[in-house]
Every structure is written in structure tokens, then in C-alpha cells.
Structure 1
Amino acid sequence: MMRVFLGLDLPETVRSALAVQQFLLPLPRRVPPEAFHLTLVFLGDVPDPRLDAAHEVFAALRSPAFPLALRGLGLFGGSRPRAAWAGVLPSDPLTRLQAAAEQAARIAGVEVAARRFVPHVTLGRFPVPDFAATARLERAIADGFAFAAGPWIVQDMVLWQSRSGHDGPVYTELSRYPFS
């Protein structure tokens, strides 16, 4: 059994722009730049036979390459933020790809949580900060509202394994699925 997710890798230029922005934020805990990605479908803990089936249906998905760009920053958690993120400009091809990937996972027999797709790249995950730290973080996020990176051309998607590490999750690429 493996804990896995399907997502999009980011080009080095975008990773660098995110790392600079991340450095400017007073984040209690940062995601390492090599772990930046955009999740399409989180599959969770998947038994090997279902993982094999998921691999087959992901490999059969067809999508043309498409442009994608990041815009803006935000926090998840409302008044008790627990994560900082960089947003993604609206993209019909991305929305279609995510819906197709989620449907493919279900066809493979993987139970996927029903939640609204909010495309983003996580910059940091952390325990709820105290009031003063929350105010500093919210102010820094507001100052970085104009953040932008890209566009770049998305040419494939990746199946990653996620394992718990000392400093947060460690991701290992299992398969890469090129677009037509």
C-alpha cells in the first residue's frame, strides 16, 4: 500500500519565483522548493492492485499541452491559518484535466474525496500561529497579492508517492504521463 497523488510538476523558473516569494513571507514552516507541485487528485493510501489500475487509466488519459500561470497568494484556514499558497490563474484545460483525472481514479477503483478543486501550490504548512504572527502573515500575504509566475506549458502529469519525513512529506516520482 502506498500513499499517492497525481499532480503537475513545475519548471525550475517557477520554483525559483516561488522560493523567492516564500522567503519574503514570515512562514513558521516552509515547504522545500523541490517539493512544490500542483495536486490534481489526492488518492491517499492505495493498495497495489488499485495503484496498478490507476497507473493504467492515467497512462490512457489524453490531453493536449496547455499554458498555465500562477497569480496571487493566500492562506487556508480562515482566521486560524494553517497553510500558505500561491494561486493559479483560471484555466479551462486545467479544470478539464483535473476532472478527467478524478474520474479515471474512480474508474480504477480508488475512492477520491469529493471536494472542490482549488488549484494552488502550497508554500508552507504550520500549526495555527498566535494572533500577532497571524497578523504579520496576513499582512505579508496581502503585500504579495500581485505575485505572478509563468506562464509555462504543461506537458505532462506525475504520480508521486508521499511519505512522512522528519521535516514534512517527502515525494518520490513513480510515473510521468506525457500529454499528446
Structure 2
Amino acid sequence: MRVFIGLDLPGPLREALVMQQFLLPLQRRVPAEDLHITLVFCEKLRDDAAGALHDALSSLHLPGFDLTLAGLGLFGGNRPHSAWAGVAQSDGLVALQAAVEAAGRRAGLDLPHRRFVPHVTLGRFARPDPATLMRLERGIAAGAGFAAGPWRVDEMVLWHSELTEGGPRYSELARYPFTEARRPPPGSGTLP
């Protein structure tokens, strides 16, 4: 089973991203309800590792943090294949991704070693013709100042990804809320 752990997006951010999709000549737009930030992707989750993954993710006790989207870009170099919205630098997001990846490895997932590039995929395309590529590059350049948020990230989601002729289809398997660090206010503790 193909699965990924990621962050869901609030409605207003989805609306802002749909507007950016509209402004770009994308062959296949990611449906608004499928827009997300992937933390870890697992091509083949073995049945015997599913329970261990759930337990590992449930045992993470991480604080929430604020996140902001910033900028647009293309993946694929000279032969771009997808357009994305970027994520502003966030120590909380980097720590979360590292913790989720470590939890996945402890659960027995065979995860590739890749540099984490946080983003929201807006759309995919086959090799664009030169005119479309020029329009696409202009649209990305025009959206360089795109920003949306911030929003509070307070949970992560485990999704199943099924490949279909129309593109991947996602279904939610579980949600894992974060636990905010609870510290008593200064002066409220008991003395030893």
C-alpha cells in the first residue's frame, strides 16, 4: 500500500492555492481537497508494518507551530514536470519531518534518503511545448511573491495514495494531533 504522512491545509489556504493554480497553465491541477504538505512518503507499506507505524506516530509528542506558504516554483529543471507553492523556513516543520521520518524507520519503513523540500504540489504536466513552458515560467515568476498564512499546525495525517488513470487519489487513514507543551505559569508550582 502507498501511504504518506503529511499536513492538511485550512480552507483559506486552499482557496489561495486554487487561485494560483488558475493563473498557471497546468495540464493536471491537484484537486483542492488533495492539497497538502508531504512529510514522508512510503511507496510500499507492508501489512506487518502498518500497526508499528501507527504506534510510532501515536507516540510522538510534538508541539504545534505556525507555518506560512511563500513563493512558487517548478520541479524538473530543464524539463519541468510539476509546479509547487513553497513553505517559508520553519524550525518546527524541519523538526517534525525529522521526527516522523525517524518514527517511520523505527516502524520498519524502507524510506529513501532524500533532502526534505517542503512544498504543496499545485499541478503536474507532461513535457510542455515551448509556448506553454514560456507561459508557465512567466506565471511562476509572477507568483514569486506569493504568500499565504500563517496558520497553526496542530496535527498530521496518514493518507493512503491510490494511483488511478486520472492521477493519485488520497484517502485519510488516521489523524495524529500534536500535544502542546504544557508548562505551569511562573510562580504556580509547588516548592520542594
- Structure 1, unaligned stretches of length 5 or more? none
DSSP-derived class of the 1:67 partner = strand
**Equivalent residues in 2 for 1:53-132, closer than 5 Å:** 53-132=52-131
**Equivalent residues in 2 for 1:138-157, closer than 5 Å:** 138-157=137-156
CA deviation digits over 1:125-149, x for unaligned, max 9? Answer: 1111122211110011000111111
- Structure 2, unaligned stretches of length 5 or more? 180-192
Which residue of structure 1 lines up, in the alignment, with residue 172 of structure 2?
173
Per the TM alignment, residue 165 of structure 1 is displaced from its structure 2 partner at its CA by: 2.5
Distance, in Å, in 1 between the alignment partners of 2:76 and 2:50 is 31
Distance, in Å, in 1 between the alignment partners of 2:173 and 2:99 is 20
2:36 counterpart of 1:37 = yes
Aligned-CA RMSD value: 0.7
Deviates more, 1:68-77 or 1:126-135: 126-135
Distance, in Å, in 1 between the alignment partners of 2:53 and 2:127 is 35
Identity across the alignment (%):
59
Distance, in Å, in 2 between the alignment partners of 1:126 and 1:63 is 36
Distance, in Å, in 1 between the alignment partners of 2:43 and 2:153 is 24
Per the TM alignment, residue 113 of structure 1 is displaced from its structure 2 partner at its CA by: 0.5
Distance, in Å, in 1 between the alignment partners of 2:114 and 2:32 is 26
Distance, in Å, in 1 between the alignment partners of 2:165 and 2:78 is 28
Per the TM alignment, residue 43 of structure 1 is displaced from its structure 2 partner at its CA by: 1.2
TM-score (norm 2): 0.91
TM-score (norm 1): 0.97
Runs ≥4 in structure 1, deviation > 6 angstroms? none
Name the aligned partner's letter for residue 163 of structure 1: E
Per the TM alignment, residue 14 of structure 1 is displaced from its structure 2 partner at its CA by: 0.5
Distance, in Å, in 2 between the alignment partners of 1:16 and 1:154 is 17
Larger Cα-atom Rg: 2
Which residue of structure 2 lines up, in the alignment, with residue 158 of structure 1?
157
Per the TM alignment, residue 163 of structure 1 is displaced from its structure 2 partner at its CA by: 0.5
Distance, in Å, in 2 between the alignment partners of 1:79 and 1:28 is 17
DSSP-derived class of the 2:152 partner = strand
* Matched pairs, number: 179
2:27 counterpart of 1:28 = yes
